[in-house]
Structure 1
């Protein structure tokens, strides 16, 4: 190809056709420039395509992780809801307003003292941050992700930890007193399921009469009720904010990357 073009240039020079030679030379330069520009455009297109694929993958990972987190947050709220119901049932039973089976009372005693271990997964967001948040091209979404993972969630976790630190030491002391006063007795039971030995598991034997009559247990229930209320308020806020962020990501994936989700 190079020899072909060189032949044309030499032919023009040999025939003293300088006008045609310069026109041809200019045309050849323009072709080279156009070729370079096309190559740059193709390269830019490839880089843009790679960036879009990366952005789509990262948003999809964050969306999936957030969906899983919301499921866990709802599970936490379900535990708090069971705690709330159990406290009400036990207060009704102590006041003689309702009667429950022994099995139901034992179950409510367990749930009345339950708690949660709040956690969340920020792995995909941290991976995105390490590669550069500017990989998210939509400014509003980039800001929302940054605010959610770096400000809102750590602060929400801190609020829950403060709630735990406020109530759990006193509740744990009350549990020690319940144990000392004979409200329950702990023992190990050898468990066999479907003919398969599972080993020893911790169990509790409850003195239901004490739970229904002793004034101290009502103090324990009231303390747990305050603990439950503070946790529940925080969880509702976390779920609401998380669902909002999830919806924003879902909209971005649908509008820019044609995801159906």
Structure 2
């Protein structure tokens, strides 16, 4: 092709057809410019296609992570609500100075397990902590992701707070001197404490807790913390649903 154009130029010059040569040269320049523009357009389209593939990968990652978070939040909301009910029931027992052994210990041992919320944030952290955030062109999705990350941080602080209080209470010698950890298995297997071989010890310990101000204060503190934590978990699941809806519409 280059040789073809060169022969044309040489022929025009040899025939002293300068005006035609000038027009030809201009035409050749135009063709080169058009070729460059076409090449740039193709390159831009390829880059856009690559970026779209990356964006789709991230959006799919968000869908998978948020779906997993929703399932975990559902479970945690159920557990935290039940723990709050148990704590309030224990406070009522102390205030009435009355204990039904199975009811008391079923409530007592249910407040001990405290699984922390561990959200699936791999995709979120990869995107929000890098230049890839620009690929999320929907500003609403971008804003909601930032807000959700902030909410997750608040949940972590709240749960760490509860966990620390629980550890201080549970592993204090005052508590350890009046608790049978075997009760965790009785509670988990839905067996009766009244039928346990250690029933007299359970009765004795329960009487101690009725008059233990330390125990009552912990139950009140736990209730207070859960009153703050549970709405955060409920807000998080709403935000997850909203972001999933936005991604689906996008």
TM-score by length of 2: 0.74
Give the match's secondary structure for 1:31. Answer: helix
Equivalent residue, structure 2, for 1:114: 113
Kept in 2, the 8 Å contact 1:145–1:245? The answer is no
1:233 aligns with: 228
**What does 1:125-144 align with in structure 2 at a 5 Å threshold?**
125-128=124-127, 129-144=129-144
Are the aligned partners of 2:169 and 2:175 in contact in 1 as well (CA < 8 Å)? no
Q: Displacement, 1:109?
A: 3.3
Determine the structure 2 residue equivalent to 1:43: 43
**Conserved 8 A contact 1:73-1:235:** no
Q: How does 1:102-181 map to 2 (within 5 A)?
A: 102=102, 106-128=105-127, 129-149=129-149, 151-166=150-165, 168-173=167-172, 176-181=173-178
Quickly say closer, same or farther: Cα 1:78–1:210, change in 2 above 3 A: farther
**Which residue of 1 is the match for residue 215 of structure 2?**
220
Cα drift, residue 39 of structure 1 = 0.6
Q: 1:225 to 1:145 in 2, by over 3 A?
A: same
Distance 1:51 1:107 in 2: 55
How far 1:226 sits from its partner (Å)?
A: 3.4
The structure with higher relative contact order (CA 8 Å, sep 6+) is 2
Q: What SS class does the counterpart of residue 137 from structure 2 fall into?
A: coil
Aligned counterparts of 2:153 and 2:26: Cα–Cα separation in 1: 64
Structure 2 distance, partners of 1:2, 1:35, is: 14
- SS of 2:62's equivalent in the other structure is helix
Give the SS at the match of 2:130.
Answer: helix
Alpha-carbon separation, structure 1, partners of 2:106 and 2:165: 26
Give the CA deviation at 1:37.
0.5
Contact (CA 8 Å) 2:152, 2:236: kept in 1 or not?
A: no
Unpaired runs of at least 5, structure 2? 186-196
Displacement of 1:162 after TM fit?
2.8
Match for residue 33 of structure 1?
A: 33
Aligned to 2:194: none
- From the two aligned structures, give the one with the greater strand fraction: 1
Decide whether aligned partners of structure 1 residues 11 and 246 sit closer, same or farther in structure 2, where only a CA change above 3 A counts. farther
TM-score, scaled relative to structure 1: 0.71
Alignment check: 8 A CA contact 2:141 2:246 kept: no
Counterpart in the other structure of 1:201: none
Greater fraction of residues in helix: 2
CA RMSD of aligned residues (A): 3.5
How many residue pairs are counted as aligned between the two chains?
Answer: 234
CA distance in 2, matches of 1:83, 1:50: 49
